[in-house]
């Protein structure tokens, strides 16, 4: 995982002649061009450690060569072990995770699920392998080592005409190849959960417990920043593992029905959202503390007392981020080896979708939290702001644009800029000279409003003719606000935006999304610091453009270059201002 915050997946450095187009699922479940590393829960990808967490290479290599079964191919001790096996004459198999499509004769093409005999793994990123009679190079990160290397090659699912698996070849005890693969996946899920629980226990008892004893070194606020809600995650995961083990059939693991466990805990897994959102703050705080030697020695002493593997604290704190991203991958593999007739099939299928939704929700919350900084900066750019901050009630800009607002009693029309957030509609006025400067005018509480579509023609309430109009009607006070758009399509976009606003509010209530007071205050504080850094309020164009979502007009390519320059810098008419002033009698000498 290249960025534990954005949940992106490590891109592959493609061979110069490769035209591979790998597609896979990131933690949100979207398709994208990726080549994700396959990592053990708790194990860390080398690039991730160096780029994001800053752990040293030797710590990483020691950890990679530990007894974890699945690291990213080509990493440290595992790569050496693979080469030793090959040189000793052993046969090493890997299973393809993604399609590898290539037009180069020296590369080995395959599809997801194919089994490849690894013949040379000396290169870190490109291995040499064989499928049947074909040999060639293939990207190491497209495969994972086979779950059980002791199984002979011929025991893997055979392909027959039509692309269907031949399950006629069976293991002892009447177990099909697919059942054996399901057994392996179930065993992996159970074992990695147990490993993960041990990691969480080590963090809670080895670090947090010791830190709390040193009030002279750590405040509770610092500990909350560094460790987030990892203790809540630990409690949740302990219950989850117990539920998994109850469903685990030790005698016949392939008959285990674990899908229901994921469905039962899908809501509780949403606590990972808070942890993932806080993780960047944890990294920054740790980075600051470890510049002081006494903290470095203290954290190392904690690790040694708990007899933890040789990796730094920031590495351990990355494991929950990795874990929540790995569940959809594990469930996808489990579904692959679950027959539709299996009693667990429907639950596994539903669990896969549920865990994708959990990961998607976490990413969405991350995006929302990033947006609150932009909203705070936008508010700091508004002149004459009155009342509470936008972030007190809102966290998402739904839509914005210019409308004519018609007010009682004279039915006076005023052109205003409106910004629709969840729960409120903010009204601003443009500066007459500097059109990028906005002045706060008012706001409307959307929770009390109903939207009324108004037909073109004479409006009875305001006794005027209107076009492209709609109303906001307050249910409590019977107050009515009339708005007119310039074009019919603009009106429709606003009506759709009001629907989206109500939908967003309802979704937030259902999922329990909220922004903490600390996050709100921090966002406003950051915006205030930027504002007072010497920049005038007018220099807020990036945030203004972000909120306005304005589209710049594109010039036709047929225009000569000279005309383009003229358009870019239009000539202004000479002002008659001073000539008119000089004619005024009071100013004459």
Spatial neighbors of 67 by CB under 8 A, at least 6 apart, are none
Give domain 396-512's CATH number out of 2.30.29.30, 2.60.40.4070, 2.130.10.10, 3.30.1280.10: 2.30.29.30
The domain 179-371 belongs to what CATH superfamily?
Dbl homology (DH) domain (1.20.900.10)
Q: What is the dihedral of CA 69, 73, 74, 79, to 10 degrees?
A: 40
Q: What is the dihedral of CA 461, 465, 468, 471, to 10 degrees?
A: -10
Q: In the predicted model, what is the mean pLDDT of residues 227-239?
A: 94
The domain 76-145 belongs to what CATH superfamily?
SH3 Domains (2.30.30.40)
DSSP 472: E
- Between these two residues, 391 and 478, which has the higher pLDDT value? 391
| CA 192 to chain CA centroid, nearest Å | 23
Closest CA to 289 of 276, 302, 307: 302
Element (H, E) at 481: strand 480-484
Q: Which runs of E-coded beta strand occur in 121-216?
A: 126-131, 134-139, 143-145, 158-159, 165-166
Tens-place pLDDT, residues 178-223: 888 899 899 999 999 999 999 999 999 999 999 999 999 999 999 9
- Tell me the percentage of the chain whose pLDDT exceeds 90: 39
C-beta of residue 284 within 8 angstroms of C-beta of residue 53: no
**How high is the pLDDT of residue 545?**
47
Give the pLDDT band of residue 517 (cuts 50, 70, 90).
confident
* Total number of residues shown for the chain: 589
Choose from 26-35, 176-185, 326-335, 518-527 the range with maximum mean pLDDT. Answer: 326-335
Q: Alpha-carbon distance 339 to 349, whole Å?
A: 11
**How high is the pLDDT of residue 449?**
92
Asked whether the whole model's pTM tops 0.85, one would answer no
Q: Alpha-carbon distance 237 to 257, whole Å?
A: 18
What are the CA-CA distances from residue 525 to residues 169, 380, 480 (Å)? Answer: 67, 10, 36
Q: In the predicted model, what is the mean pLDDT of residues 360-365?
A: 83
Spatial neighbors of 312 by CB under 8 A, at least 6 apart, are 53, 55, 56, 59, 299
Tell me which residue has tokens 């061009």: 33
Q: Is the pLDDT of residue 30 over 50?
A: no
Phi, psi angle pair for 339, to nearest 5°: -65, 145
Tens-place pLDDT, residues 574-589: 545 444 434 444 444 3
Q: Alpha-carbon distance 107 to 266, whole Å?
A: 41
Q: In the predicted model, what is the mean pLDDT of residues 287-295?
A: 92
Give the pLDDT band of residue 29 (cuts 50, 70, 90).
very low
Mean pLDDT lowest for which of 10-14, 370-374, 423-427? Answer: 10-14
Q: What is the dihedral of CA 230, 231, 237, 238, to 10 degrees?
A: 160
Q: Alpha-carbon distance 376 to 526, whole Å?
A: 8
Q: Alpha-carbon distance 579 to 257, whole Å?
A: 89
**How high is the pLDDT of residue 148?**
52
C-beta of residue 340 within 8 angstroms of C-beta of residue 165: no
C-beta of residue 535 within 8 angstroms of C-beta of residue 381: no
Q: In the predicted model, what is the mean pLDDT of residues 482-491?
A: 94
Enumerate the domain spans of the chain.
76-145, 179-371, 396-512
Q: What is the dihedral of CA 246, 248, 250, 255, to 10 degrees?
A: 130
What are the residues facing 426 on neighbouring strands?
419, 443
- As given in the structure block, the two tokens for residue 346 are 């429907």
C-beta of residue 296 within 8 angstroms of C-beta of residue 290: yes
DSSP 406: E
Q: Alpha-carbon distance 432 to 455, whole Å?
A: 32
Spatial neighbors of 248 by CB under 8 A, at least 6 apart, are 186, 190, 256, 258
Q: Is the pLDDT of residue 559 over 70?
A: no
- As given in the structure block, the two tokens for residue 168 are 């006629």
**How high is the pLDDT of residue 176?**
63
DSSP per-residue letters across 43-94 = ---HHHIIIII---HHHHHHHHTSS-S---TT-HHHHHHHHHHHHTT--EEE
Task: Name the average pLDDT for the chain.
Answer: 75
């Amino acid at each position: 995982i290249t960025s534990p915050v954005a949940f992106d997946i490590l891109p592959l450095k493609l061979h110069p002649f490769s035209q591979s187009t790998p597609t896979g699922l990131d933690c949100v479940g979207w398709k994208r061009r990726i080549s994700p590393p396959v990592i053990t829960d708790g194990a860390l990808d080398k690039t991730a450690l160096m780029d994001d967490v800053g752990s040293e290479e030797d710590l990483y290599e020691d950890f990679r060569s530990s007894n974890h079964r699945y690291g990213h191919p080509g990493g440290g001790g595992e790569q050496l072990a693979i080469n030793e096996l090959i040189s000793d004459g052993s046969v090493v198999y890997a299973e393809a995770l993604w399609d590898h499509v290539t037009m180069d004769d020296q590369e080995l093409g395959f599809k997801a699920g194919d089994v490849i005999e690894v013949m040379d793994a000396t290169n870190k990123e490109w291995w040499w392998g064989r499928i049947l009679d074909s040999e060639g190079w293939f990207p190491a990160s497209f495969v994972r080592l086979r779950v059980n290397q002791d199984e002979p090659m011929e025991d893997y699912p055979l392909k027959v005409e039509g692309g269907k698996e031949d399950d006629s070849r069976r293991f002892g005890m009447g177990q099909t190849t697919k059942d054996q693969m399901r057994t392996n996946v179930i065993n992996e899920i159970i074992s990695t959960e147990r490993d993960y629980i041990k990691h969480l226990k080590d963090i809670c008892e080895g670090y947090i417990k010791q830190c709390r004893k040193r009030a002279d070194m750590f405040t509770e606020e610092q500990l909350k920043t560094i460790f987030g809600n990892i203790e809540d995650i630990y409690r949740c995961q302990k219950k989850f593992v117990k539920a998994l083990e109850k469903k685990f059939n030790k005698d016949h693991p392939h008959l285990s029905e674990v899908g229901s466990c994921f469905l039962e805990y899908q809501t509780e897994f949403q606590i990972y959202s808070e942890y993932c959102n806080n993780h960047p703050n944890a990294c920054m705080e740790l980075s600051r503390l470890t510049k002081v030697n006494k903290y470095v020695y203290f954290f190392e002493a904690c690790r040694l007392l708990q007899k933890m593997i040789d990796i730094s604290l920031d590495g351990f704190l990355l494991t929950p981020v990795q874990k929540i991203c790995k569940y959809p991958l594990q469930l996808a593999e489990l579904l692959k080896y679950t027959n539709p007739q299996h009693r667990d099939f429907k639950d596994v299928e539903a669990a896969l979708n549920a865990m994708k939704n959990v990961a998607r929700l976490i990413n969405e919350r991350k995006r929302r939290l990033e947006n609150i900084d932009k909203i705070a900066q936008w508010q700091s750019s508004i002149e004459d702001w009155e009342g509470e901050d936008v972030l007190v009630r809102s966290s998402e800009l739904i839509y914005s644009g210019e409308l004519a607002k018609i007010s009682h009693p004279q039915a006076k029309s005023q052109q205003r800029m409106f910004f629709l957030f969840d729960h409120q509609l903010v009204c601003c006025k443009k500066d007459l000279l500097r059109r990028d400067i906005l002045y706060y005018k008012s706001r409307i509480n959307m929770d009390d409003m109903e939207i009324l579509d108004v037909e073109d023609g004479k409006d009875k309430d305001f006794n005027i003719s209107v076009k492209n109009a709609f109303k906001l009607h307050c249910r409590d006070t019977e107050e009515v606000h009339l708005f007119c758009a310039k074009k019919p399509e603009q009106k429709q976009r606003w009506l759709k935006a009001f629907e989206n606003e109500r939908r967003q509010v309802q979704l937030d209530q259902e999922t329990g999304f909220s922004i903490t007071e600390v996050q709100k205050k921090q966002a406003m504080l950051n915006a205030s610091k930027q504002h007072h850094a010497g920049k005038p309020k007018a220099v807020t164009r990036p945030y203004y453009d972000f909120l306005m979502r304005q589209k710049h007009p594109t010039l036709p390519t047929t225009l000569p270059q000279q005309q383009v320059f003229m358009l870019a810098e239009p000539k202004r008419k000479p002002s008659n201002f001073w000539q008119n002033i000089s004619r005024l009698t009071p100013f004459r000498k």
